[in-house]
């Protein structure tokens, strides 16, 4: 069930990223003033942030699919085998984190460890693109507000 939810969220993220890209490209060609360019940049970089997060969700859904596979050779959990056979033999379950995106293996003696199921660049790129999006959005709003003629 978790796999299906992650997959649907990734597909939704791809759809949102596509819509933001289209809006951003329309804004690029529509307005030439500074606030319009900043708004277009915010939309396009925001599309990149959403796409990167969706890419991470796909990696996470693949790890969950492998973990929930109940076939032969499914124990220990496949994504948790990266730490070696001694550590993998102590795994009793897994957890999924959405902020930051990561797949964690729970150990029988308590504690967890994070696997490399979600590439390291995903969380860093998503955070960086999100910060750039927020900065461009705030600057666009401030610039548009200051350029608006005051009504007396």
Contact 37, 137 (CB under 8 A): no
Give residue for tokens 């999100």: 130
Among 15-19, 26-30, 61-65, 136-140, which range has the highest average pLDDT?
A: 15-19
Give residue for tokens 């124990």: 75
pLDDT at 73 over 70: no
Total residue count of the chain as it appears in this document: 152
State the DSSP code for 79. G
Pairing of strands 91-98, 101-107: antiparallel
- Those residues whose C-beta lies under 8 Å from the C-beta of residue 73, and which sit 6 or more positions away, are none
> pTM for this structure?
0.86
pLDDT one-digit tens code per residue, 109-126: 888 889 889 999 999 999
Average pLDDT rounded to a whole number, residues 5-21: 96
- Which residue in 52, 57, 66, 67 sits closest to 7, CA to CA? 57
């Amino acid at each position: 069930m978790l796999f299906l939810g992650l997959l649907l969220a990734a597909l939704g993220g791809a759809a949102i990223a596509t819509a933001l890209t289209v809006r951003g490209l329309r804004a690029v060609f529509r307005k030439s003033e500074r606030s319009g360019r900043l708004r277009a940049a915010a939309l396009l970089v925001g599309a990149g942030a959403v796409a990167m997060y969706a890419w991470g969700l796909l990696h996470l859904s693949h790890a969950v699919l492998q973990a929930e596979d109940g076939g032969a050779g499914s124990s220990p959990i496949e994504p948790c085998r990266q730490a070696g056979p001694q550590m993998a033999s102590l795994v009793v379950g897994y957890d999924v984190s959405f902020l930051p995106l990561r797949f964690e293996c729970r150990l029988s003696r308590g504690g967890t460890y994070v696997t490399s199921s979600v590439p390291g660049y995903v969380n860093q790129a998503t955070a960086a693109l999100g910060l750039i999006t927020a900065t461009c959005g705030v600057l666009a709003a401030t610039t548009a507000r200051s350029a608006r003629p005051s009504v007396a």
